[in-house]
Structure 1
Amino acid sequence: MYFLFEYPSSRDKKESEESPFIEERIVCPRCHSTKIIEDVDTGELVCSECGLVITKGLFLEDKDWRAFDTEEFMERARAGAPVTPTRPAYGLDTQISFSKGISQKSIQALRRTKKHVRSRKEKNVMPALFKIRAIAEQLDLPTHTVEDAAKLYRMASSAGLVKGRSMDAMVAAVIYAACRRTEVPRSLGEIASFFNLTEKEVGRSFRFLFRKLGTRIPPPKSEVYVPRICSKLKLPQSIATRAIKILKIAREVGATLGREPVGVAAAAVYLACQEAGIHRTQRELAQAASVTEVTVRNRYREFLEKVRPVLKEEDEKAAAAVVPDGASDQQK
Structure 2
Amino acid sequence: MDHGRDHCKYCQKVTEVVEDRTGGCYVCSECGFELEPYLDYHSEWRTFSGDVEQKDRSRGGQITDDYISGKANLSFVVVASNDKHKDLIRTHNRSSQFTDNDRILLKGVSEINIISGRMNLTARVVEKAKSYFKAASAHVQNQKLLTIAALAAAAVLQACRDDNKAFSLKEVCRIAGVREKDIGKSLKILKSSKKKNEKTAVAALTVGDYTARFCSELDLSQHTNRFAQAIAEHATKRGYCGGKAPTSIVAAAIYFASQLSATPKTQKEIAAVVGVSEPTIKLAFKPLYENRHDFPCQEFLQGQDIDQLPCI
Pairwise same-fold verdict (TM > 0.5): yes
- Structure with a larger share of its residues in helix: 1
Counterpart of 1:271 in structure 2: which amino acid? F
The answer to whether structure 1 residue 315 and structure 2 residue 298 are counterparts is yes
TM norm structure 1: 0.58
Length, aligned pairs only:
242
Counterpart Cα distance in 2 of 1:278 and 1:145? 34
Counterpart Cα distance in 1 of 2:161 and 2:266? 28
Counterpart Cα distance in 1 of 2:244 and 2:65? 36
Q: Please state how far the C-alpha of 1:287 moved relative to its aligned partner.
A: 0.6
The answer to whether structure 1 residue 222 and structure 2 residue 199 are counterparts is no
TM norm structure 2: 0.62
Question: Is the Cα contact below 8 Å between 2:157 and 2:167 reproduced in 1?
Answer: yes
Please point out which of 115, 122, 133 is paired with 2:113.
Answer: 133
Counterpart Cα distance in 1 of 2:137 and 2:228? 40
Please point out which of 236, 239, 245 is paired with 1:254.
Answer: 239
Structure 1 SS opposite 2:135: helix
How is 1:179-328 mapped onto 2 (pairs within 5 angstroms)?
A: 179-198=160-179, 200-210=180-190, 212-213=192-193, 215-255=200-240, 258-276=243-261, 278-305=263-290, 308-312=292-296, 315=298
Counterpart Cα distance in 2 of 1:257 and 1:155? 37
Aligned position for 2:73: 93
CA spacing shift, 1:289–1:213, aligned 2, 3 Å: same
Counterpart Cα distance in 1 of 2:156 and 2:128? 8
CA spacing shift, 1:113–1:264, aligned 2, 3 Å: closer
Counterpart Cα distance in 2 of 1:118 and 1:207? 27
Identity over aligned residues, as a percent? 20
Question: Is the Cα contact below 8 Å between 2:212 and 2:225 reproduced in 1?
Answer: yes
CA spacing shift, 1:169–1:112, aligned 2, 3 Å: closer
How is 1:128-167 mapped onto 2 (pairs within 5 angstroms)?
A: 128-158=108-138, 163-164=143-144, 165-167=146-148
Question: Is the Cα contact below 8 Å between 1:125 and 1:157 reproduced in 2?
Answer: yes
Unmatched 5+ residue regions in structure 1?
A: 1-21, 23-65, 99-107, 320-332
Counterpart Cα distance in 2 of 1:206 and 1:298? 32
Counterpart of 1:135 in structure 2: which amino acid? I
Question: Is the Cα contact below 8 Å between 1:83 and 1:91 reproduced in 2?
Answer: no
Unmatched 5+ residue regions in structure 2?
A: 1-17, 26-37, 46-58, 79-87, 195-199, 303-312
Aligned position for 1:329: none
Counterpart Cα distance in 1 of 2:266 and 2:160? 28
Structure 1 SS opposite 2:149: helix
Structure 1 SS opposite 2:295: helix
Question: Is the Cα contact below 8 Å between 1:210 and 1:216 reproduced in 2?
Answer: no
Aligned position for 1:177: 158
